[in-house]
Amino acid sequence: MNNKPLIIANWKMNPATFEEAERLLNTINKEMGRNENAEVVICPPFIYLSSLLSIAKDNLVFGAQDCFWEDKGAYTGEISPLMLKKLGSQYVIIGHSERRKYFQETDQVINRKLKAILKARLNPVLCVGEEARDSFDSEGRSLDEVSLVIGEQVEKALIEVSPAWIRNLVIAYEPIWAIGTGNSCSSDDAMRATLFIRKILTKLYDRSIAEKVKIIYGGSVTSQNVVDLVEGANMDGVLVGGASLNASEFVKIMEVLKK
């Protein structure tokens, strides 16, 4: 890990009211005043983005949880990367397993979104991860599922993505079995997944480009396991779901990581 750790909060479809969202943000804002050593990105539901941006501390960064691939037009219900950019959002999560599962998002759709996000000069956070646990064997060789699933997800998402754009890319390794279950990945397995993703990036581009891409971990991250997962697995940061909705727990994650 070379730079400041990247801590991305994925609030998903929470909290239920803007007042709660504001309270959560105010607690994080207080901590941001003291925090110079981590880059913290909040990804709230779309409808809270604009108001939260206006009350946030300058060093707090925002992102969206999804977007469409066109700039504007007759696409009912959609939000474009350009709109997000104009609002002041800097990151967009794409390919989250929940979107793949509940909205049937394919690798082809994710590839179109990824290119649109990069074209708007935003940072895509591409989520990849295998379905089942025990995907690595005890001797540390990557087994078929991890290499097939992650390899395919990364390669298909990056079709026709020029090397010049890659430096803005963040890849989140989120094993599906670890999301919302309380069972996080071991730091050894997270490290193996990171190495594997860098190998694919090296094959697709080259080593210096592969090293510029930030690779973060997501799946049951807490203040207890975050140091092990980031420093122990040499990752660039974390994508936090459930724990980012608990103000004191999220602040603790920020505190322990900035040490």
The residues that are catalytic are 96, 174
Q: Interface mask (CB under 6 A) for ligand 13P, residues 139-168, using x and -?
A: ------------------------------
Give yes or no for residue 33 binding ligand 13P (CB under 6 A): no
Site for ligand 13P, residues 87 to 106, rule: CB under 6 A: 96
Pick one of 180, 195, 203, 228: the residue that binds ligand 13P (CB under 6 A).
180
Q: Which is nearer to ligand 13P, 101 or 203 (CB)?
A: 101
Q: Which residue, 10 or 153, is less far from ligand 13P as judged by CB?
A: 10
Rule CB under 6 A: is residue 220 a binding residue for ligand 13P?
yes
Q: Is 175 in the site for ligand 13P (CB under 6 A)?
A: no
Whole-angstrom distance, CA of residue 87 vs CA of residue 49: 8
The partner residues of 172 in beta bridges, in order of sequence, read 127, 216
1 closest CA partner among 170, 251, 219: 170
Q: Coil, strand, or helix at residue 115?
A: helix
Residue closest to ligand 13P (Cβ)? 241
Q: How far apart are CA 31 and CA 34, in angstroms?
A: 5
Cβ–Cβ contacts within 10 Å for residue 75, how many? 11
Check residue 7 and give left, alpha or beta (phi > 0: left; psi -120 to 50: alpha).
beta
Minimal distance, residue 43 CB to ligand 13P, in Å: 8
Stretch that binds ligand 13P, among 16-24, 80-88, 139-147, 241-249 (CB under 6 A): 241-249
Cross-strand partners of 123 = 91
